[in-house]
Amino acid sequence: MAFFFISRRHPLRLLSTTDLVAEYERLVLENEQLRQAVTSHAVIDQAMGAVVVLGRVAPEEAWRVLRDVSQRTNTKLRTVAEHVLVFARGGTMPEPLKAELVRAMERYRMCSSAPTGPAGEPVGESTTEERVSGRSATEPPGC
């Protein structure tokens, strides 16, 4: 028995049952890959937001921070993003990733100079490492 198959790539094609099953399986696999890509993209976007807050880096730089951590620790970008999200919610992060995250956020820091008071003393500044480790809750004004 044969069936006609219509698709964008093949306007009208005669397929056997075996070919039709193979095409169906290919489409199911492609659909699953697209779902995974969309989910992965959402996780990375959320992690970028956490990096913006934690490291006070520009939103454009948050992608670079995550990419650098991924490359320097030989960890998949999605895995880095998942760890950042867990950490941002109060969980733990593997120490090598955390250390590299701190270094990357310092490299891409949005506020390059610390704010000062009338006498030139530092006002409310905390390092990225202090914010990430939770040792200082002071946030500088305007950043």
Q: Name the residue with higher pLDDT: 40 or 129.
A: 40
pLDDT digits (tens, 9 = 90+) for 80-117: 999 999 999 999 999 999 999 999 999 988 544 444 44
Average pLDDT over residues 18-26: 87
> How many of the other CB atoms lie within 10 Å of CB of 39?
11
Name the band, by pLDDT with cuts 50, 70 and 90, for residue 37.
confident
What does the alpha-carbon distance between residue 87 and residue 100 come to, in Å, rounded to a whole number? 14
pLDDT digits (tens, 9 = 90+) for 109-122: 854 444 444 544 44
pLDDT of residue 5: 64
Name the band, by pLDDT with cuts 50, 70 and 90, for residue 139.
very low
Bridge partners, 122 (sequence order)? 116
pLDDT of residue 136: 46
Q: What percent of the chain has pLDDT over 90?
A: 48
Q: Which of 65, 72, 67 is nearest to 50 (CA)?
A: 65
Residue whose token pair is 């006070």? 56
pLDDT digits (tens, 9 = 90+) for 52-79: 999 999 988 999 999 999 999 999 999 9
What does the alpha-carbon distance between residue 41 and residue 134 come to, in Å, rounded to a whole number? 28
pLDDT of residue 3: 64
- What are the sequence ranges of the domains in the chain? 42-109
pLDDT of residue 122: 47
